[in-house]
């Protein structure tokens, strides 16, 4: 069975850092592009970052560019999101997705291109 399990969320003060992880199993991890999305109560689900199958191409939402870094460890079947200089508006449930689609990075900004999803991890940033 395919599983994506996020971890590493928690409570942090504004300006602090967190690294969330998405551990996968049951799929050929190297074949998939990976993405991070987030959703806060009352807000629409929004794209955060993506990384292609080889890890040599990344894409970021403007709101997190320069603060967040997505990476992957294909030996561990895991994708990471390093979040620095966190702001209260970053508070959300962060979910990872896996996409078998081979395409330009822009397609990974849309949820309908993802085949599998994790259940998310809560990140709360206090002011």
Instruction: Give the model's pLDDT for residue 66.
Output: 98
Cα–Cα distance measured from residue 73 to residue 6, given in angstroms and rounded to the nearest whole number: 15
Tokens of 62: 């403007």
The model's confidence at residue 33, banded by pLDDT at 50, 70 and 90, is very high
Q: What is the mean pLDDT of residues 91-108?
A: 94
pLDDT band at 68 (very low <50, low <70, confident <90, very high): very high
**What confidence tier does 104 reach under pLDDT thresholds 50, 70, 90?**
confident
Average pLDDT on 12-29 reads 97
Residue 111 DSSP SS3: helix
Quick one: average pLDDT of 22-28?
96
Percent of all residues in the chain with a pLDDT value above 90, rounded to a whole number: 94
Separation of CA 80 from chain center: 7
Q: How far apart are CA 68 and CA 61, in angstroms?
A: 9
In this structure, are strands 78-83 and 92-99 parallel, antiparallel, or unpaired?
A: unpaired
Average pLDDT, the chain: 96
């Amino acid at each position: 069975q395919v599983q994506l399990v996020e971890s590493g969320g928690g409570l942090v003060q504004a300006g602090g850092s967190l690294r969330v992880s998405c551990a996968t199993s049951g799929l050929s991890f190297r074949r998939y592009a990976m993405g991070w999305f987030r959703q806060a109560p009352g807000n629409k689900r929004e794209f955060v970052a993506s990384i292609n199958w080889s890890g040599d191409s990344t894409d970021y939402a403007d709101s997190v560019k320069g603060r967040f870094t997505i990476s992957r460890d294909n030996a561990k079947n895991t994708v990471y999101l390093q979040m620095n200089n966190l702001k209260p508006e970053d508070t959300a449930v962060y979910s990872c997705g896996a996409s078998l689609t081979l395409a330009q990075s822009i397609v990974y900004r849309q949820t309908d291109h993802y085949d599998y999803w994790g259940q998310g991890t809560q990140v709360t940033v206090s002011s």
